[in-house]
Structure 1
Amino acid sequence: MSIRKPTGLALVAALAAVVAGAAAVLACGPDFPLQLLDNRAGTLKSTPANSFAYEASHLVSANDALKAVESLTGNDSSPDTPDKPILTADQMKTVQAMRALGNGDTAFALGDGVPDAVRLYTAAAVDYKASNATVPSCDAGAASTASAGDHAAASTRSSTKRAASCRAAQKRAESDAAAAGVRAQQRFQAVLDLPRASSDLRVVWAAYMLGKMHADASAGAGNDATAERAAAVQSFALARARARDGARDPWGLAVASYGEEARLYLYSGGIRCDDSDFDNRTACVDAIAPADLSRAIALYAEQAARGSTSGQVSLIVIAGWALSSPARATRLVGDPLTPLTQRLLVAYGLARLGDVVKDDPASTTDFFARRDLNGHNGYADTARGDKDVKANPVLTALVAAIEKQGIERSAGADRLAALAYRLGRYDVAQTLIAHDDSALASWVRAKLALRNGDLTAAAQAYAQASKAFPPNDASLDSGSAALVKGEQGVLTLARGQYADALDQLYAASLRKEKASGVDDVYLGNDGSGVGYAEDAAYVAERVLTTDELKSWIDAHVPASAVPAPPIPASSISLAGDQYYQWRLQHRRTMNDMLRTLLARRLVRDGRVDEALPYFPADNDPRFVDIDYRNDKVIVTPWQARTWAAAYGAALHDAQHAWRSTTRAQAWFTAATLARTHGMEIMGYEQEPDFATFDGAFDGGAGRRSAWQPAADSSSGPAAPPPDTPAQRAAADLPGSFVTDGERQRYASSEAKPDTRFHYRAVAADEALNAANLLPPRSQAFATVLCHGAAFVRYDDDRANAIYQRYVKEGAAVPFAAHFGRDCPAPDFRAASRFPYVQAWRATRYWVHRYLYVPVGVALLGIVGVGWWYRRDRARRAG
């Protein structure tokens, strides 16, 4: 147990409090990740720190295999569960009947045939419950009040009689409870006295309960508190010893006993201080003997080291109290400070205590203090260099007090070095890590080198920190190890080593994915909140050239295996829970994202045939469209490979077909595919299309959507928006740690055109290509222009320009009134015949209007022929 006893929702809240110490967290909204590349200087200057959960569980090393068991609903929610392997069905029924009784003696008598340890313990538990039963209240409110009038005296006599009766009942209840307590204690002890082979079924339970009873008695009036505490300590130690020897402990009571024992040392003047005393900073806690407080911390650390969230929460409560003011921090350090207590306070200060924002002391405990500084949640960190952030005076006092005692004797030198670095005590940090080769020390060394402008030394220190994890180094948790690799990637990118930077950001993503087990770059990010995948995607999409990326992926990123679908169908209907449960077990991977990113980039470059192998297979059920109908999830698989192949074939025909109308039809097919499936086959992973979110958001990933502080209205009018790729690159990549080469590559890889959903504009261009090959007065010409306008309907200028072309060149058509909204299919067959039909129609019209001309010509021809014939005949006769 702990200072707090979190169960149910309380335990969920406590667990959230423990893991909230992560260095980076999710922003509000649709959980946009914190990208390391958003603020490179801040990223590289930030304080190295592990989560408090990790540090609390590593304050001491567990020297046994005991593990915590902490149910969200409490251990008593399924009391029969641990007995199923050891009791027969009849014995189980007997135990259940015993529990339902109100007296231990009666329960014991009923337990014939049950193993001795179980029989004794169950009877003792019945009496223990009875000993804690509510005693009747006999206060004034419990007795009836006297009535008014002539019955006042009688009512008073009746009330007095009832009060006397209540007091008698109260004394009997108190006596019965005390007797039940004695019987319970005797039977718990009887379990311990059984032969080892018999007692193992319940000995840990019985020893734990004896410890609790002695612990409660130590606070009772008239009891020998010292003797009771000693007996409690002995019982808790026995529970742990027997559990280590193999006695059954399905509820993890051996580990819980550490917390119960710790509470024995949180007394002040004979009064136990509880969590409210710690939270409210009462005099009770201030008066606890320092030696007792250190002993409690040591026991909670043992509990936390064995996986207990309850132990971690207790350490949070104590450390939060100790670091609530400089005076308390200094007093605790000067007691003198034990190595374990020092490590606890330093760990808490790094993970769960922020610096002061805008001179507001309350901001040090505000988990949202960083939101106005960099757009993300988290405790303020003065090392980042954010405006209006000052060092926390409590932490400054802590480091000064430790320094006064002699930092050469400091426990956890690398952690203390990290805290000193955060507070600007670079000299202290350098001294502490001078002879420390841990991964955390190397991480601090890299930060100090960056402060000195030595990028080469920083790169070497990052390499050492990354290399040290994970084989033989416990100085970093898995999240911090991923962060080290990610920061290494940021520095490598700043040094112009672009492929190596992608290597490192990719490795950080894999470390995170492996550590969390739930990372899915398509469905969202895990609780660490750092968007390594987004940073890696930026480098892959906007910094490396297409050929560099293709070579890198061929060397490092194999395709993932295609899992079997939930049910074999091309379009499936599942209950939502059923599909998402399957999806949790078959996630898209970082490799899938990078390969698809390359495929879409190759399509944009016109290298469609090369792109096809990098698209997910058409039968991969992880790549689907999801719809909800009638409380069902309708899952329709993508066919990106088929769509891309069709798009490539259409582009080929558009450029090589013999007949112009065939080329026009091919352009229109390409345009339709680009508009309908452009996100899947050519969309940018990040801006401007945001395929990473299926286009649902127009920010949250990439450089252009990086968080920027609110503009200062006093700084004058805003600068005009950039209108060239180079200007946009300069605007999107401000600050230090960005090379000119990166900006040039960023500009050259910009979407063409650089508009939201750029593939819609591509589709419109291809529709115009089709129109250029069609007779202007044909139905197909008007129709492809209608579709082209529809493709860019949200771009008023572009849609209007297409409409004006139709008005200028096209023929009147029935759908002109709703041009760009409701367009029929183009009739390319009619368009192919259109020139000949038009020529024939023109001839017919001319003949119909000028009939006398051909008739006269014909008559003249006939007269001429007759004259010639007569002349020729006369010549022959002569």
Structure 2
Amino acid sequence: MWLRSLLCSLVLLLTLAPLRTAEACGPDFPHRLLADRVGSLSELPAGSFRKEAGRLVPLPADPFNAMEEAEEPPDARKGGEKETALYAAGAKAFKNGDFATARARFREVLALPAEERQRFSTFAAFMLGRNAGAGFEQDMKEGFELTRQLVRDGFDDPLGLAVASYGEQARRLLEQGDDAGAIQLYAEQAAHGSQNARSSLYLVAHALAGDKARLHTALKQEVVQRLMAVYVWTRSREWYWEDSSQLTRVLEALAQATESAPQVPGLSIADKLAAGAWRGGRFDLAERFASVEKTPLAAWVQAKLALRRGDTAAADKFLEEAAAGIDEHEDWMEETVGELQFRPYCRVAGERGVLALARGDFHSAPEQVLTSCSWPDLAYVAERVLTVDELQRFVTRHPTAEEHTCKRELEALWYDQDALETKTIPGRLRLVLARRLLREGRSTEALEYFKGTRWEEPARKYADALATTKQDVSNVRKAEAFHEAAKLARREGLGILGTEVAPDWGWVDGMYDVAVYDEDPERLSPGAEEARKPVGKTPLVGAQEQQRAASHAPPHANRYHYRLTASVLAQQGAELLPKHSQAYAMMLCQAARYAADDPKRFQELYRTYVKNGPANIEEPWSFGQECPPPAFERALSIKAPQSKRAPFRRRHLLMLVGGMLIPIAAGAAFYLRRKRPPSGP
């Protein structure tokens, strides 16, 4: 029995899990609105079926205790002597199939004085409902309703039978063909917190969607309309795998059944129909239902419709209206591994950030993206859109912002070392600013923002080494400082110089080139795919943003750009050393090793080394691979090689000049001799 229950539970959990496109293998990244801006603005997120199923009817004023996941308390079946004996006899008869005897014993328990049946009254009433059969069918309704009334009257319910009675009664109604009655009971059970009821509601909705006649009959009741509206909104992705005509059929049936656009106070339906229609690509129905009632979800749908028309100003106003009404703590995330869905409040703010960037509003955009709690998106804005000074002012304005509201989103970045070191968005922004300042040579300011992190010490050493290269010291000492700076850039580069976004991708700890995965965007709902083309007609990346993103890029475009920085520093140090020294050769060797990912630069460094003459190095080494430490002290004692070769060069020049003068002098003498007058006789 327990194995069958376990298998049924697993099947139900799988049916309620949100469907997504399958990946053969690879990492799961949190969704980024700025990675696919057209897709982000085209998509309207699906709500959570589980959450919405618990809201189909008003929340009860006196909720019963749901015990579906809990173990039975050890004293749950300890009651008075008489009630215990009578209930045990009835349970035994029920197990043996003697339903008449069982019915009699259960009624005897319920006939006892109230003080003598405090524990087993709910047990007996519940089993009376389960025991209902031929000849006493009325016991089903009586028993289950009595179970709930007894709990309201204060009788014990250690097993949560009041909540379970809704489901048992609903199941019997389903068997009798009363879909609406069953849905009403399941909805009441779900409102009491029953997860089993939410699973049952999904299965009933799924069955109705596939049976046109049954659907039209059930839709005469408002609770069924609410259920199916929730179903088409939250489960629209299932039509990827099933007959897509089902979605259209359900939407059209709902449109016909809700012709008068019913509005139940506190229980909106038109907005969910609008959302389901958008996701299903029925934009005509989305237009119709989105204007029926003013809710945050309806405003969100109207924003999508405005974007489809190309009216970004109206879209932003509708998004602002939606943000004002959405509960900041509302969460639609389903419990699926690797999936992180935005909270609706954060998603709306993020979409407003996309529109702010599109119109070049670089003051509003970072504020909206900050509210979205999307660190990858905020990292892009902080790294590539804002100037360093703008980022500095932004960090100052938000010294403690979002320390708690974005906790869930930051904890999802499990592969990011920064998430372990700095558990708040303000702390991470300070690190982005510190690295940008250090890359731009503003070391003193950078060190202030590195304080308190594990990168404070390596950043200080790096800054000190670069400062030494500019001091009035010997070239060898400067080269030694370049050597130290290059080592730090290579070993600690991601932490002190790296970029959170491209090319280093610090927000995934440098483990992945996220741009590769961006080439295969997440599959959208059918409606969002249809909306892509009209929404995409509006430019979403302006020329000013592109110019800023290019000018704020790191000095090298390569992934792990700080490795090339290390290579350049090592080469600069080598140029200060005697070219035939071991230190010169090893500095070039290290420069080549740091540039191993750049074959062109590697070859250039090797040609430089060969051109200047390999040094006679005793230690075993291989250029660009195994590089012994540079011997800077030995380099200090080496004199310039030109001083030894200069005397030879002067003698060679004198001999050359002398050789040229001899024939000239001889020719001059001969000429003068011919000009002399003849002597007398």
TM, length-normalised to structure 2? 0.80
On the 8 A contact 2:329/2:343 being kept in 1, the answer is no
On the 8 A contact 1:440/1:475 being kept in 2, the answer is no
Q: Report what 1:534 is aligned to.
A: 376
Task: Kindly indicate whether residue 438 of structure 2 is the aligned counterpart of residue 603 of structure 1.
Answer: yes
Q: Report what 2:561 is aligned to.
A: 758
On the 8 A contact 1:48/1:440 being kept in 2, the answer is no
Q: Report what 1:297 is aligned to.
A: 183
* Alpha-carbon distance in 2 for matches of 1:311, 1:129: 28
Task: Kindly indicate whether residue 675 of structure 2 is the aligned counterpart of residue 823 of structure 1.
Answer: no
* Alpha-carbon distance in 2 for matches of 1:557, 1:394: 51
On the 8 A contact 1:322/1:332 being kept in 2, the answer is yes
Task: Give matches, 1:432-451, under 5 Å.
Answer: 432-451=289-308
On the 8 A contact 1:38/1:707 being kept in 2, the answer is no
Q: Report what 1:343 is aligned to.
A: 226
Q: How many residues in Structure 1 have an aligned counterpart in Structure 2?
A: 609
Shift of 1:602: 2.0
Shift of 1:68: 2.4
Task: Supply the AA of the counterpart residue of 2:172.
Answer: L
Q: Report what 1:258 is aligned to.
A: 166
Shift of 1:6: 8.0
Task: Supply the AA of the counterpart residue of 2:577.
Answer: L
* Alpha-carbon distance in 2 for matches of 1:40, 1:551: 27
Task: Give matches, 1:785-864, under 5 Å.
Answer: 785-809=588-612, 810-815=614-619, 817-835=621-639
Q: Report what 2:83 is aligned to.
A: 120
Distance 1:661 1:416, change over 3 A: same
Q: Report what 1:381 is aligned to.
A: none
Task: Supply the AA of the counterpart residue of 1:337.
Answer: K
* Alpha-carbon distance in 2 for matches of 1:643, 1:559: 28
* Alpha-carbon distance in 1 for matches of 2:521, 2:423: 34
Q: Report what 2:385 is aligned to.
A: 543
Shift of 1:333: 2.5
Q: Report what 1:463 is aligned to.
A: 320
Q: Show CA shifts across 1:582-631 (max 9, x none).
A: x999983333333322222222222232223433724xxxxxxxxxxxxx
Alignment partner of 2:426 out of 580, 591, 614? 591
Alignment partner of 1:50 out of 47, 51, 58? 47
Q: Report what 1:707 is aligned to.
A: 519
On the 8 A contact 1:439/1:476 being kept in 2, the answer is no
Task: Supply the AA of the counterpart residue of 2:637.
Answer: R
Distance 1:507 1:682, change over 3 A: same
* Alpha-carbon distance in 2 for matches of 1:407, 1:474: 31
Distance 1:32 1:585, change over 3 A: closer
Shift of 1:53: 1.3
Task: Give matches, 1:158-237, under 5 Å.
Answer: 177-179=96-98, 184-214=102-132, 218=133, 223-224=134-135, 227-228=136-137, 230-237=138-145
* Alpha-carbon distance in 2 for matches of 1:738, 1:253: 58
Task: Kindly indicate whether residue 195 of structure 2 is the aligned counterpart of residue 309 of structure 1.
Answer: yes
Task: Supply the AA of the counterpart residue of 1:400.
Answer: E
Alignment partner of 1:647 out of 462, 470, 495? 462
In structure 1, the gaps of 5 or more residues are 84-94, 96-113, 133-176, 269-287, 365-391, 510-531, 563-578, 619-638, 711-732, 847-878
Distance 1:548 1:586, change over 3 A: closer
* Alpha-carbon distance in 1 for matches of 2:537, 2:583: 48
TM, length-normalised to structure 1? 0.63
* Alpha-carbon distance in 1 for matches of 2:511, 2:450: 21
* Alpha-carbon distance in 1 for matches of 2:359, 2:403: 36
Task: Supply the AA of the counterpart residue of 1:661.
Answer: V
* Alpha-carbon distance in 2 for matches of 1:585, 1:535: 19
Distance 1:584 1:821, change over 3 A: closer
Task: Supply the AA of the counterpart residue of 1:777.
Answer: H
Task: Give matches, 1:405-804, under 5 Å.
Answer: 405-410=257-262, 412-470=269-327, 479-509=343-373, 532-558=374-400, 588-615=423-450, 617-618=452-453, 639-699=454-514, 705-708=517-520, 736-804=539-607
* Alpha-carbon distance in 1 for matches of 2:369, 2:11: 32
Task: Kindly indicate whether residue 98 of structure 2 is the aligned counterpart of residue 241 of structure 1.
Answer: no
* Alpha-carbon distance in 1 for matches of 2:625, 2:191: 65
Task: Supply the AA of the counterpart residue of 1:347.
Answer: V
* Alpha-carbon distance in 2 for matches of 1:121, 1:25: 54
Distance 1:9 1:808, change over 3 A: farther
Compare 776-785 and 595-604 and name the one that shifted more.
595-604
* Alpha-carbon distance in 2 for matches of 1:200, 1:472: 40
* Alpha-carbon distance in 2 for matches of 1:247, 1:611: 67
* Alpha-carbon distance in 2 for matches of 1:203, 1:584: 54
Q: Report what 2:215 is aligned to.
A: 332
SS of the residue aligned with 1:266? helix
Task: Give matches, 1:23-62, under 5 Å.
Answer: 29-62=26-59
* Alpha-carbon distance in 2 for matches of 1:658, 1:255: 83
Shift of 1:764: 0.3
* Alpha-carbon distance in 1 for matches of 2:279, 2:25: 26
Task: Supply the AA of the counterpart residue of 1:748.
Answer: S
* Aligned sequence identity (%): 35
SS of the residue aligned with 2:35? coil
Q: Show CA shifts across 1:228-285 (max 9, x none).
A: 2x312222222222333444334322212111110111225xxxxxxxxxxxxxxxxx
Shift of 1:781: 1.1
* Alpha-carbon distance in 2 for matches of 1:476, 1:705: 22
Shift of 1:443: 0.5
* Alpha-carbon distance in 1 for matches of 2:283, 2:272: 13
Distance 1:596 1:240, change over 3 A: farther
On the 8 A contact 1:494/1:739 being kept in 2, the answer is yes
On the 8 A contact 2:126/2:143 being kept in 1, the answer is yes
Shift of 1:757: 0.8
Shift of 1:771: 0.6
SS of the residue aligned with 2:637? helix
Shift of 1:698: 1.6
* Alpha-carbon distance in 2 for matches of 1:586, 1:248: 50
On the 8 A contact 1:333/1:342 being kept in 2, the answer is no
CA RMSD of aligned residues (A): 3.7
Task: Supply the AA of the counterpart residue of 1:745.
Answer: R
On the 8 A contact 2:422/2:428 being kept in 1, the answer is no
In structure 2, the gaps of 5 or more residues are 264-268, 335-341, 405-413, 523-535, 649-681
Task: Supply the AA of the counterpart residue of 2:181.
Answer: R
Task: Supply the AA of the counterpart residue of 1:200.
Answer: Q
On the 8 A contact 2:163/2:189 being kept in 1, the answer is yes
Q: Report what 2:13 is aligned to.
A: 15
Task: Give matches, 1:48-127, under 5 Å.
Answer: 48-63=45-60, 64-71=62-69, 78-81=71-74, 83=76, 115-116=79-80, 120-121=83-84, 124-125=87-88
Shift of 1:774: 1.3
On the 8 A contact 1:815/1:823 being kept in 2, the answer is no
SS of the residue aligned with 2:343? helix
Shift of 1:644: 0.9
Distance 1:26 1:463, change over 3 A: farther
Shift of 1:426: 3.9
Distance 1:68 1:17, change over 3 A: farther
Q: Report what 2:529 is aligned to.
A: none
* Alpha-carbon distance in 1 for matches of 2:537, 2:609: 44
